[in-house]
Amino acid sequence: MSSVTMADDAPQSAVTGSVAVVNDYLFRGLSQTNWKPAVQPGIEYDQASGWYAGAWGSNISWLSDGSTDAAPISSSLELDLYTGFRGSFHGDWSYDVGLYEYYYPGTYPSGFTRPYTTEAYGSLGYKGVTLKYSHAFTNLFGFPGSKNSGYIDLSYNVEFSPDWSLNLHVGHQDVRNVAGASYSDWKVGVTRAFAHGYSVSLGYYDTNASRSVYTNAYGHYLGRATGILSLAKSF
């Protein structure tokens, strides 16, 4: 994301932001909007020291889609808050460590495990390759008894032509103490950057997630193979 500096010379801090529109919001390979579009704004504050903090949001439906009861779950928003520290060393190496909170405001029936999730993450990168691990200190997205679940993510992003980037990803979600809930996901995509912070991304996504675990109340399998188109503007 391009930066808006807060100082005239050698900026000590910066504010960056973006807004994107996608035809389906996928998170770790699973649809969060029941195959429907989403709007996703975000903003981040960065210091020259490497410390940063930000917020990101999206419309969702996966919680309310999980039940067709007369008194269903009512939650249509994901709001994420995060903070961390990033930097580089020896030229081509980079690192990033921090905390991430996934929050889903809404109303939930008695006895339902709240989906709020807190993760710590750490990544190490070399040129276009990044290996990242996220560890949940809470139950993971509403799975009872799933504390200490983890997600490992290997990605490769490289510019292969001016303004064109190749995006590759493979990940594995380990869900503790929930039979059949662990799965892997992968992606192949390209991104085209334009002037003034605009970009277009197209990707193919798939998973081996269990249909019995990840099929919602409407019979839609959330881990199916799909194509995702994203239009974004950074500022």
H or E element that contains 75: none
Contacts of 71 (CB under 8 A, 6+ apart): 109
Match 């339902």 to its residue by tokens.
112
Beta bridge pairs of residue 134: 121, 151
Eight-class DSSP state of 218: T
Beta bridge pairs of residue 95: 87, 124
pLDDT along the chain (235 residues), means of 10: 43 91 98 98 97 98 82 88 97 97 94 95 98 98 97 98 98 98 98 98 98 96 98 97
**φ, ψ dihedrals at 112, nearest 5°:** -80, 135
Tokens of 155: 């990605």
Q: Are 72 and 64 in contact (CB under 8 A)?
A: yes
Phi-psi map region of 26: left, alpha, beta (phi>0 left; psi -120 to 50 alpha): beta
CA distance 32 to 143: 16
H or E element that contains 51: strand 51-59
The model's pLDDT over 91-113, given as tens digits with 9 standing for 90+, comes to 999 999 999 999 999 999 888 89
Match 């929930």 to its residue by tokens.
178
**What is the SS3 string spanning 139-191?**
CECCECCCCCCEEEEEEEEEEEECCEEEEEEEEEEECCCCCCCCEEEEEEEEE
Predicted pLDDT of residue 11:
61
- Print the domain residue range for 38: 3-234
Q: How many structural domains comprise the chain?
A: 1
Mean of the per-residue pLDDT values for the chain? 94
The model's pLDDT over 174-199, given as tens digits with 9 standing for 90+, comes to 999 999 999 999 999 999 999 999 99
Question: Which domain CATH number covers 124?
Answer: 2.40.160.40
Predicted pLDDT of residue 121:
98
